[in-house]
Amino acid sequence: MKHISINEERLLERLQELGRTGCEDGKRSRVALSDADKQGRDVVTQWMNDAGLDVRVDRIGNLFGLYGELSPEGPDPVFIGSHIDSVIDAGMYDGCYGVLSALEVVQTLKEAGCAPKRPLVVAAFTNEEGVRYAPDMMGSLVYAGGFGIDEALAVIGTDGSVLGEELERIGYAGPEEPGFLKPHAYVELHVEQGPVLDAEGIQIGAVENLQGISWQRVTIGGVANHAGTTPMRMRKDAGRAAAEVIRFVGDRADAPGSTSVATVGCIEFEPNAINVIPSRAVFTVDLRNPDDAKMYADEEALAGFLEELSRERGVTISTERLVRFEPVAFDQGIVAKIEAIAKEHGLSVRRMTSGAGHDAQMMARICPTAMIFVPSKDGISHNPAEFTPAPDLIAGARVLLDLIHQLADEE
């Protein structure tokens, strides 16, 4: 392929600029469908327009920048994407790096006058994080047909808002039907968000699979009582029972030989007063494993523990399933291409599993899919200290450029 290279400064500057949206009191929270998310969406839409792409929005708010001739009888497009919504107090690379690198690659090919056989689509999917509205990876899940659009629009957020109303409010309730374009392939470039590449000093991850994700909300009902007068044997302490669950899931994941991970990320007590024994505890459990049977065994073990705890502590316990995504294997052909291209660039590369969920997990349901990782310093992510050095960012985008050029010229 004639020598084409990305505009490195433009990519790095856009990352910084997008990273400045959604910042308040020194914290970056571009939570799905918030004003901050709108701010980020408006900036990316502008850059897609500046690049001369045909900007489309679908009914769940997925944002697409199209390049090339799209027609029903023509070749299916190659999708390149990720997300720009973030967790609370987030870093600036998670998702944004993938969307902006996708835009950079397509803009570079367009500016070089390349007219690949296949059209190209830059995608920024709605609500990948699932922090405000479960499930996570929602926009790509709807796009892939795994979640009905009407059901998604009716989802109630952790703040009591209705997803569809918020989408209207920020002006991103688009006309296109989710799935309106059938992808020939989907590629997602992302920071690893884990410690593997950084610890091993490897520049590129050729991601061949992604672990399963199980999210549930647990509600424990106890009895409010005086923290001073109530004898320990008479207490029905929902807070103490919640603490035992947190300990249980952590110890099980920590057990020798375990390949599971687990955490309780959100918890609320009622009445939440220093001198009142909690009458209620509501919290979330996030369990993950690359092997579905092992994730299932973890879920069953937790269910058994909750039953026993309820009897022992005299509390009521109920659970609500929020998400269960099975592990996903990516397309070996694309993974091999990623490896080969990285080596051509003189980059160190290794195959690996993704510990985090990604839109690629959903797109793999409808087309050949794979991911490219670049290192996360000290493996930190979902944290403002998230960092990837510029040379690594550029290396990943260069691999993406060559991969997309190959995929876009496939028969």
Min separation Cβ 233 and Mn ion, Å: 44
Which option in Mn ion, ligand HGY, none does residue 166 bind, with CB closer than 5 to 8 A by kind?
A: none
188 binds ligand HGY (CB under 6 A): no
Stretch of 90-98, 140-148, 175-183, 280-288 lying at the interface with Mn ion (CB under 5 A): 90-98
- Give 108 or 216: the residue with its C-beta nearer to ligand HGY: 216
116 vs 139, beta carbon nearer ligand HGY: 139
Binding partner at 136 among ligand HGY, Mn ion, none, C-beta below 5 to 8 Å by kind: ligand HGY
Identity at 198, one-letter amino acid code:
D
> Exactly one of 58, 85, 104, 128 binds ligand HGY (CB under 6 A); which one?
128
Question: Whole-number minimum distance, CB 128 to ligand HGY, in Å?
Answer: 5
Determine if 129 is a binding residue for ligand HGY (CB under 6 A).
yes
Taking contact as CB under 6 A, which single stretch among the options 21-29, 40-48, 124-132, 223-231 is the one that binds ligand HGY? 124-132
Residue range at the interface with ligand HGY (CB under 6 A); choices 6-14, 123-131, 257-265, 269-277: 123-131
Q: Which stretch binds ligand HGY (CB under 6 A): 72-80, 128-136, 237-245, 388-396?
A: 128-136
Q: Which tokens belong to 18?
A: 């997008």
Contact segment (CB under 6 A) with ligand HGY among 52-60, 122-130, 311-319, 326-334 equals: 122-130
Span from 43-51, 99-107, 125-133, 399-407 in contact with ligand HGY (CB under 6 A): 125-133
CB of 400 vs Mn ion, minimal distance in Å: 15
Q: Should residue 188 be labelled a site residue for Mn ion when binding is judged by CB under 5 A?
A: no
Give the span between the Cα atoms of 44 and 397, in whole angstroms: 17
Closest to ligand HGY by CB, 67 or 186: 186
402 contacts which partner out of Mn ion, ligand HGY, none, CB within 5 to 8 A by kind? none
Q: How far apart are CA 395 and CA 404, in angstroms?
A: 14
Place of tokens 């061949």: 208
When CB distances to Mn ion are compared, the closest residue is 95
Per residue, the 3-state secondary structure of the chain, as one string, reads: CCCCCCCHHHHHHHHHHHHHCCEECCEECCCCCCHHHHHHHHHHHHHHHHCCCEEEEECCCCEEEEECCCCCCCCCCEEEEEECCCCCCCCCCCCHHHHHHHHHHHHHHHHCCCCCCCCEEEEEECCCCCCCCCCCCHHHHHHCCCCCHHHHHCCECCCCCEHHHHHHHCCCCCCECCCCCCCCEEEEEEECCCCHHHHHCCCEEEEEEECEEEEEEEEEECCCCECCCCCHHHCCCHHHHHHHHHHHHHHHHHCCCCCCEEECCCEEEECCCCCECCCEEEEEEEEEECCHHHHHHHHHHHHHHHHHHHHHHCCEEEEEEEEEECCEECCHHHHHHHHHHHHHCCCCEEEEEECCCCHHHHHCCCCCEEEEEECCHHHCCCCCCCCCCHHHHHHHHHHHHHHHHHHHCCC
95's contact among Mn ion, ligand HGY, none, with CB below 5 to 8 A by partner kind, is: Mn ion
Q: Which is nearer to ligand HGY, 342 or 356 (CB)?
A: 356
Q: Decide whether 213 or 335 has the Cβ nearer to ligand HGY.
A: 213
- CA 219 to each of CA 72, 237, 342: distance values in angstroms, whole numbers, following the listed order: 49, 13, 48
Of 37, 58, 104, 136, the one binding ligand HGY by CB under 6 A: 136
First to last CA, the chain: 16
- When asked if residue 357 is in the footprint of ligand HGY (CB under 6 A), the reply is yes
Q: Which one of Mn ion, ligand HGY, none is in contact with 357 (Cβ closer than 5 to 8 A by kind)?
A: ligand HGY
Tokens 């249980």: give the residue. 248
- Residue 386 binds: one of Mn ion, ligand HGY, none (C-beta under 5 to 8 A by kind): none
Nearest CB to Mn ion, comparing residues 61 and 68:
61
Residues at the interface with ligand HGY (CB under 6 A): 128-130, 136, 356-357
Q: Which residues would be at the binding site for Mn ion (CB under 5 A)?
A: 94-95
